[in-house]
Structure 1
Amino acid sequence: MVLEAKELAPMTLRISLKDGEMMIVNGAAVRSIGRTRLCIEGKAAVLRGRDLDTVDMTTPARRLYYATIASYTDPEHLGAHQDEIVAALTEVIATLRTPVAQSAAASFARLVATSDYYRALADCRALMAMENASAPRARLSAATAASAPARA
């Protein structure tokens, strides 16, 4: 069997960073000095700074996102991070009851079950967007209920 050179090439990821932009590679923080171009060959857990900017853990979906990032970048403490994922996912499922949200949560769970944390982050971002979209309605409902006259 003859293999072409492209079949033998390792997995390669090319990244361009702006001055001061940060990323995480296998749990280590990397910050660029000046415009930087990187070529990462082989398997590595890589997160760009923009993937980390949304982590404030104030909602169930954001806690899920953070726990997923932690699982992806800190495999030494995977058990604890997976417990956090289960707890946050339970909250998300209880909070977001639409069929679309339930489908995104199921897709997320499938990806996490196969340790595909990077792709699971996309489902987390979708769940955060759904959570953000439902939050104004929830606040409006609460405000309406609070301003309604009490019934005897």
Structure 2
Amino acid sequence: MTLRITVRDGERLVVNGAVMRAAKRCELIIENPVSILREREIMTPNAATTPARRLYLACMMAYIDERHRPAHHDDVVARLAELFDAFEAEAAQQACASFARLVATGDYYRALATCRTLITYEAEALGRLQAAAA
């Protein structure tokens, strides 16, 4: 499977754990399976400020750090259990279940996309709580 992506000037990528930065706009053609994240998909530990964001960070680390994947996987499972119990909405719980299935099959990249949905659910729930408290 060939993957073709365009990288902007100065954009960072993580490829199999290596951090890279484009010196100018370029197109990359990836011809074998790799763990790759664009800058907009990368979360730093400082940005992992909520349970869903911490879940994303743990999943991201499992995806890009194959050497320590078992430890990251355990972190993902623990964080997902906490988050699942916190969500009351059925759609959010279904997204948690979908995330769990993807992680169980080792499809961490797609699990990250599902986790972005969980981050949105979490932000909406926190917004409702803040509005109710005001």
TM bin (shorter chain): over 0.9
Q: Which has the larger radius of gyration?
A: 1
SS in 2 for 1:34: coil
8 A Cα contact 2:43 2:57, kept in partner? no
Mark the CA change 1:109 to 1:57 in structure 2 (over 3 Å): closer, same or farther: same
Give 2:77's aligned residue.
86
Alignment of 1:17-96 (within 5 A): 17-53=7-43, 56-96=47-87
Q: Which runs of 4+ in 1 moved over 6 A?
A: none
SS in 1 for 2:23: coil
C-alpha separation between the residues in 2 aligned to 1:96 and 1:59? 13
- Larger relative contact order (CA 8 Å, sep ≥ 6): 2
C-alpha separation between the residues in 1 aligned to 2:118 and 2:30? 30
* Percentage of pairs with the same residue: 49
What is the count of residue pairs matched by the alignment? 133
Query: Which sections of structure 2, spanning at least 5 residues, go unmatched?
Result: none
- Are 2:69 and 1:100 aligned? no
Give 2:116's aligned residue.
125
**Residues 91-137 of structure 1: CA deviation (Å, up to 9, x unaligned):** 21122111000100000000000000000111100000000111111
C-alpha separation between the residues in 1 aligned to 2:44 and 2:123? 12
Query: Which sections of structure 1, spanning at least 5 residues, go unmatched?
Result: 1-10, 145-152
What's the TM-score once normalised by structure 2's chain length? 0.94
RMSD: 1.4
